Structure 1
Amino acid sequence: MPLYQVEYTSPLTRSEKNDLAASITRIHQSAYGAPSIFIGITFKDISDVEYYAGSKLVSMNTILLYLWRRSSYNRIFAIVRTGGSRTVADFNKLALALSEAWDDIVVKNDVTIGRAERNLSGVFVLRSIESLMEHGLLLPEVSRCLKISTTCGIPPSADVDIE
């Protein structure tokens, strides 16, 4: 259901990715009650992404230094479903929790690169999933979805091994 996209220019270790995925899952579960199997998380190194400012190709490093006076750009996109009783305040709490998780896992434990390069530049919560078809199933609206998952025997805290 939700999709979290973690994009980074400062390298992440496998352990950091594992810990971030676990934290993001816990955060989403506690906020919205979704079973862990439905929470998707991707990681993408964007350090070599081609970036255009207007119609001009500009290197990511040039953009980072010019606009943000930074040497890295690490960000999390939370793409979540609309509906239910979710408010802007709820999504602000989500953004803060994601930022704190990044700080605890990536920034505070860093001993090699330096904290400034490891900081999280932004969290973007996008309420953009109006309709969702996943694995051939058209999912019901948020309020009905939680009722269905619990009646199907999938508790929100269920960890399902899909390997």
Structure 2
Amino acid sequence: MPLYDVEYVTPLTPEQQEQLAIAFTDLHSKRFNTPRFFVNVRYTDVNNQVVFRGGLRRKYNRVVIRTRAGSNRTNEAYLDHCKQITTEWERIIGSEGERGLRTVWIMGALTTALEAGIGRPKTGEENQWLKDNMAHFETLAAAGDEDFNELLKEFKGKKSNAI
């Protein structure tokens, strides 16, 4: 259940928000082997928020990522992820003046989470967790849960790509 908090001072259109959400979801799910529907992206207009940096009032765009930490998630991997987030921001929003993304923070402090009654796996144990919970996912999907229908499509697509 990673949460990407996008705090922006430059106006973002709904289309830009959607493009960023798709890009961030793609990056996270590929890098950390996380099902797409677990990735949350939230937008907050902080144009009127008071922020001081170094004792001086500042306004800037930032992305704060809350995710799980683990021994298989190195500082180098996190730093590369921050760079990729910045690259996507610049591709979609730009980098000039207030349009630029000033900061990307990764807070690897998500100890555990519960989603639809299912506890998240430890980092590195995602594949086994998917297999262990597949029957429950299928039950939720059959009951009409759109997220789990998407999860099953995603999982089946990955499985067929591996063959």
User: Shorter-chain TM-score category?
Assistant: 0.7 to 0.9
Q: Which runs of 4+ in 1 moved over 6 A?
A: none
Quote the residue 1:96 is aligned against: 83
Structure 1: tracts of 5 or more residues without a match: 65-71, 109-114, 159-163
How many residues get paired? 139
Pairing of 1:3-152 with structure 2 (within 5 A): 3-51=3-51, 63-64=57-58, 72-107=59-94, 115-150=96-131, 152=134
TM superposition shift of 1:149: 1.9
1:100-121 superposed Cα distances (whole Å, 9 cap, x missing partner): 000000006xxxxxx2120111
Q: State whether residues 107 and 119 of structure 1, in contact with CA within 8 Å, keep that contact through their aligned partners in structure 2.
A: yes
Task: Return the structure number with greater relative CO, CA threshold 8 A, min gap 6.
Answer: 1
Work out the percentage of aligned pairs sharing the same amino acid: 24
Moved more, 136-145 or 20-29: 136-145
More helix by share: 2
Secondary structure in 2 matching 1:143: coil
Q: Normalised by the size of structure 1, how large is the TM-score?
A: 0.75
Structure 2: tracts of 5 or more residues without a match: 135-151, 159-163
Q: Normalised by the size of structure 2, how large is the TM-score?
A: 0.75
Which amino acid is 2:74 matched to?
T
Secondary structure in 2 matching 1:48: coil
Q: State whether residues 36 and 156 of structure 1, in contact with CA within 8 Å, keep that contact through their aligned partners in structure 2.
A: no
RMSD between superposed Cα atoms in Å: 2.5
